[in-house]
Amino acid sequence: MAVRGITRRWIINSLTVIVLFLTALVVILSFTVQQYVYSTIQSQLKGRSEEAVNIFVEQAVQDFSSNARSYIENFTAKNEMEVMAINISGNVFITSTGFAPDNSQPMPDYQYALRDESGTGVWTGRLTTGEKVMAVTKLIESASGGVIGALRYVVSIEKADHQILMIVGILTGGSLLIIAFIVFSNLYFMKSIVTPIRQIGATAKRIAQGDFNARIKKTNHDEIGQLCDTINDMAVELGAAEKMKNEFISSVSHELRTPLTAIKGWAETLQGGGMDPGTYDKGMNVIIRESERLSGLVEELLDFSRMQNGRMTLMMEKIDLLAELGEAVYMFTDRAAAEHKYLLYEEPTMLSPVLGDVNRLRQVFVNIIDNALKYTGEGGTVEITAKEQDGYIRVVISDNGCGIPAEHLPNVKKKFYKANQTVRGSGIGLALADEIMKLHGGQLDIESQENVGTAVTITIPVLAETKP
């Protein structure tokens, strides 16, 4: 219905403009043609009257009646128009038709001539018989300048009106043909737009229902074609996001289940009693460790929720980044030794303070170091360096682990994305770390080569010193 509405509105709007334009054009052209035809007839009648005046002047006669009779009898255009002689009293006394004068016919042109300085009067109207005519009256003056009579030329314009009507009909017919052409061309044009839109709507509906494999067939390389490409790209992105979401849910479920299983198992074991102190301590350590792991995962999920909703806030203060980095490294020292991995930290002598959130920056360091250890095999090395340069502190955490394949590298900072599904983790740690660094006015960059290693660079601006 919406698509049909577009077609209907397009046709109505375009037709309204075209019809109004063509109507105005037909009216203007009809009026122009009528004025031209009437003006031509009027010019012919006035030309005849001027010729008659010249004849009467040349003859220099005073007897208007006899001269008028002679003029009318010898008038050569009797078949084209009627000429009448009018006496000083305003009565017609002779006509070129040969019929008795009919003084009942209207002659407003004679009255116009009497009032006109040039002695010429023009009238267009209908006779008592209903015939439409044009009449021109020209006053005849004597040598002394007095009016001695008048000549009246009358021509029927019924034929002219018929011709004008035919022209108007032709213009109207042409306008209708133009309108019909515009309607059909618009319908064809709208079909070329509406059909793809209908297909786009149907495909978009399938995508909205979860069919992310649905694609729109691109037929034109225009704006609609660009829209098709955009929607197809959107479907690809939504499909990938849906896949990552499902993998994220599966991964998080596993991450939650593992510590919960360990906690439940050891809790049941401890509940049974009758065990030696060494076993008891081992069980309590597992419960505490897995509880902390579970708490960290939950906190990470909460942070992700805050990030998604734009509610992640920072408690900004002047901090010693070197101290926070050192504490984060210390947290993983025992783990690295237990996993037979080398954790190397070259601590600089001093770094300028930064403005940041202590907990969030520590979270970034912990997340990156944790990832480095996870993706580094036994005997591998994780190296951490920090230096200040050009008003920024750059912390580089590098490893010689498995690395990230080139096709996965552009996506590793996206939410839910995991390049390696076999390694534990939620897939949101890097996305969180990247967002935290952006909130600090810094950035997080990742360089990696498969089977060579990965280097993560954390950049944060130093605190500008204010002079008292």
Task: Name the domain count of the chain.
Answer: 3
Residues 66 and 145 in one domain: yes
CATH number of the domain where residue 56 is located: 3.30.450.20
At 238, which helix (H) or strand (E)? helix 223-272
In this structure, are 71 and 105 located in the same domain? Answer: yes
Whether residue 244 is contained in a domain is answered as yes
Any domain includes 466: no
pTM of this structure: 0.47
In this structure, are 18 and 157 located in the same domain? yes
Q: Last residue of a domain, which of 115, 133, 163?
A: 163
Q: Let me know whether 339 and 446 are in one domain.
A: yes
State which residues form the domain around 288: 223-308
Q: What is the pLDDT of residues 115-132, one digit of tens each?
A: 888 889 999 998 888 889
Residues 321 and 267 in one domain: no
- Judge if 151 and 6 occupy the same domain: yes
Out of 278, 308, 338, a domain closes at: 308
Q: Pull the structure tokens for residue 399.
A: 């490893």
* Residue in this structure with the two tokens 């319908």, named with its chain if needed: 187
In terms of domains, do 263 and 406 share one? no
Give the per-residue pLDDT at 398.
93
- Give tens-digit pLDDT for 149-163: 889 999 998 888 888
Q: Flag whether 172 is in a domain.
A: no
Which among 279, 308, 337 is the end of a domain?
308
**Co-location of 293 and 321 in the same domain:** no
Q: Average pLDDT for residues 262-273, to the nearest whole number? A: 79
Let me know if residue 299 belongs to a domain.
yes
Checking if the pLDDT of 62 tops 80, the result is no
Up-side HSE of residue 361: CA atoms within 13 Å toward CB?
A: 29
Asked whether residue 183 is domain-assigned, the answer is no
pLDDT in tens, 440-450: 899 999 998 88
454 and 417 in a common domain: yes
What CATH number is given to the structural domain containing 288? 1.10.287.130
For residue 210, tell me if it sits in a domain.
no
CA distance 319 to 354: 6
End-to-end CA distance of the chain: 70
Task: Based on the fold, state whether residues 304 and 330 are members of the same structural domain.
Answer: no
Q: Which residues of 102-118 are buried (b: 16+ CB within 10 A; e: fewer)?
A: eeeeebebbebbeeeee
**78 within a domain of the structure (yes/no):** yes
Residue 204 located in a structural domain: no
CB burial class (10 A; 0-12, 13-18, 19+) of residue 354? Answer: buried
Residue 1: is its pLDDT beyond 70? no
My answer on whether 240 and 330 are in the same domain is: no
CA distance 462 to 353: 6
Same domain, 300 and 336: no
For the segment 369-421, what is each residue's pLDDT rounded down to a tens digit? 988 998 898 999 999 999 988 889 999 999 998 888 888 887 777 665 555 54
| Positive or negative torsion for Cα 207, 212, 213, 218 | positive
